[in-house]
Each structure stands twice: as structure tokens, then as C-alpha cells.
Amino acid sequence: MPQSQPCVWGRDAVGVGHAVMALLAMASAASFWTERLAMSTRRQKMDRPRPTLTEIEQWPATVDVPTAGVVFGLSRSHSYELVSRGEFPVKVIRVGSRYRVVTASIIDVLSSQAA
């Protein structure tokens, strides 16, 4: 009974073919998931309309940063970046390790923009 030889990628045409097919499959899957993530992010932004001033008036006294960011059309990450730089458009307070946005300050800014 002949013994099988170990696969040497450089000389074995079948092994090289399998390696190339595997690389192509991985590249295809990576681009598929990258596009899928981009579509999901776009869809998520479209699904989340900006709240109206009347809706915001019904909010609790403080809200989290991403919720307040939606009012100004900001993403979650950009909202937190502005908070860390002290450039968020409304008043932000720190409660322990968390940030909260004062709803009254959102209403003040939106009311002054409407006037």
C-alpha cells in the first residue's frame, strides 16, 4: 500500500488550488460582511427619525448621550467624542462614570433655533 505524501503548497497543484479558493472565499465573505454592515448602519440611521420638540418635552429630566445626539443628527460615537472635548451643543453632566444630557437644555437650544 503506497503511503500518501504530505501536501507541499508550492508543488502540489491541487493544494494550491484549494488555497486560492479558500483565499477567494475569505475575501468574498469579508467584502460581503463589510457591505452588509454599511447597509445596516445606513438603515439604522434611516429608521431613527429625529424627535420633534413636542416629543422631547415628554422626555425625563436627563437622557443618555446617544439619545440627545439623535436630536442634532449625530452618531453615537461622534456624540461621545464631542462630550469628551466639551463641545457637545447642550449641557452635559457627569453622574459617576456616566454622562447625562439635561433635557431642558435641548429644549432651550431647539426653541431658540425655531425663533
User: 91: domain CATH number?
Assistant: 1.10.10
Q: Are residues 93 and 60 in the same domain?
A: yes
Nearest CA among 32, 33, 39, 87 for reference residue 65: 87
What is the three-class DSSP state of 62? strand
- Phi–psi pair at 2, nearest 5 degrees: -75, 145
* Mean local confidence (pLDDT), 35-57: 72
Tens of pLDDT, residue by residue over 85-98, are 999 999 999 999 99
pLDDT higher than 70, residue 113? yes
pLDDT for 55 = 94
* Mean local confidence (pLDDT), 76-92: 95
CA 111 to the chain's CA centroid: 29
Residue 65 is part of which domain span?
Answer: 53-114
Q: Are residues 106 and 57 in the same domain?
A: yes
Q: Are residues 39 and 14 in the same domain?
A: yes
Alpha-helical regions (H) of 9-115: 13-47, 53-57, 65-71, 76-85, 103-114
pLDDT higher than 70, residue 47? no
Cα gap 96→72, rounded to integer Å: 25
Q: Are residues 78 and 108 in the same domain?
A: yes
More confident position, 47 or 83: 83
Please say which residue of 11, 30, 47 terminates a domain: 47
Residues whose CB falls within 8 Å of the CB of residue 84, separated by 6 or more in sequence, listed in order: none
- Look up cell 460581503; give the residue: 32
Mean pLDDT, the chain, integer: 79
pLDDT higher than 60, residue 6? no
- 44 confidence band (pLDDT: 50, 70, 90): low
70 in Cβ contact with 48 (< 8 Å)? yes
Q: How many structural domains are present in the chain?
A: 2
- 79 confidence band (pLDDT: 50, 70, 90): very high
pLDDT for 49 = 84
Cα gap 78→88, rounded to integer Å: 9
* Mean local confidence (pLDDT), 62-72: 95
